[in-house]
Amino acid sequence: MLFPTVAFACFFCVAFLANWLLRPAFTTWRVTMIALSLFFYGWWDPRFVALLGASIVGNHLAAAALEWARPTRWRTNATLTVAVVANLAVLGVFKYYGFFVTSAINGLARFGIEASPPLLDLTLPIGISFFTFQAIGYLVDLRRGDLDEPLPFLDLAFFLSFFPQLVAGPIVRATNMAPQIQRRPDPRRVPAGEAFWLITIGLFKKLVISSYLATTLVDPVFDVPGNHSRAEVLLAVYGYAVQIYADFSGYTDIAIGCALLLGFRIPANFNAPYRATSLQDFWRRWHISLSSWLRDYLYIPLGGSQRGAIVTARNVAITMLLGGLWHGASFTFVIWGGIHAAGLLVERVVRHLWRPTGIPADVSRVVGWLFTFHVVALAWVFFRADSLERALDLLDQLVAGGEPAPLVTTGLVALITAALAAQFVPPAMATATRDRFARTRPALQAVTLAAGLTVVARLGPDGVAPFIYYQF
């Protein structure tokens, strides 16, 4: 069930009414909302519901085992290890089994060894990476003492299945969600103005900006790079950087807005990532819930940057390579993570050498922005490409492609430029505009939203493509 569809609008109306009418009856409310979330998840394929249900039950039992093992350190660590491995094993079977088996077959073939292990025809469940990481984070937080005790079964089921962020995040933490499940919000104090603002902005990003760039520029160039000039390829690379941001942040805006209407505030996932002046800064702004998860549950436990340059380089490489592999079972995603790892390490060296030069801070920021944006854009080539060969063909065409360039139109250049320039709007100004809208009279809000939705409907495509991050 896609957000920008009539089916979801009808579903959300039912969920909204059920949420607020049943909220006083705590158990009935939780059961109903869980059932609605499972219905939402099963819309794509009812078989997915069984997997999500198994994850909920399995992690509830794992949390109980952790509580039982708490008095003994080694027993607690062993229990957590088994639980984390079990979660990752399920993710690995559905998402990576075919990739690793095929890679092993190809690797052995280079040495003249023929192997034919069984290949399983498995459908990748939507959102499995997201709810698996949420479950692992919950168990680790419980082990660390960030949660005093395991969540009740219905609370855990609500947390792992909450439909606004179930399919593509943000990756919410139990420490953030659990208190919100238990409290009783006043429906009269729901920030509806902020919610509708976010939903409308999200729809505009997805249906207008992302869809337009995909159909008119990015898809034609990435699908057949050899048919396009270097100028078209370069513009498509920049265009995809804007497209994926508009697509994913648009989804997040809608998810946060829907959650607000239900009385929940889930964390922001983006903060103008293309204004970053370093890759480290970029990862504080892009997919914040994933980058902070990798930092807190992988990078820091590995030792972070506290054990010398070599160990730090190792930790950065492991974190980014696994972060790349998290996105999909393909070497293109591994290369995407490798480019970011290399960029982060080069950045550390350059920063150390740059400081004594006395170069003005403004110049440093401009150089840092140019470096960061173009490393990110280069990495997006591998992220978007269907295969490693297609990515290399596109980069070759970027250097060797000739003229003409009919896709390089004034409108596309203006759209990409405006989208990047919007990243530099001061956050206070954007927040003030949203808050001013939220304080206006409901009638004026309704007129403004109707006008905005009309623009989206007129400029958007006839059909709705799935959000890019649905595949992860």
CB 383 within 8 Å of CB 332: yes
* Side-chain half-sphere CA neighbours of 134 within 13 A: 30
Residue among 60, 327, 340, 374 flagged as catalytic? 327
The rounded distance, in Å, linking the Cα atoms of 384 and 332 is 8
CB 14 within 8 Å of CB 262: no
Burial of residue 337 (CB within 10 Å: 0-12, 13-18, 19+) is buried
DSSP state, 267? P
The rounded distance, in Å, linking the Cα atoms of 229 and 133 is 41
Q: Identify the helix (H) or strand (E) that includes residue 132.
A: helix 128-144
Burial of residue 38 (CB within 10 Å: 0-12, 13-18, 19+) is buried
Residue 352's contacts (CB-CB under 8 Å, 6 or more residues apart) are none
Q: Identify the helix (H) or strand (E) that includes residue 63.
A: helix 47-69
Known active-site residue 327:
yes
CB 44 within 8 Å of CB 111: no
Cis status, amide bond into 187, omega within 30 of 0: no
The catalytic residue positions are 327
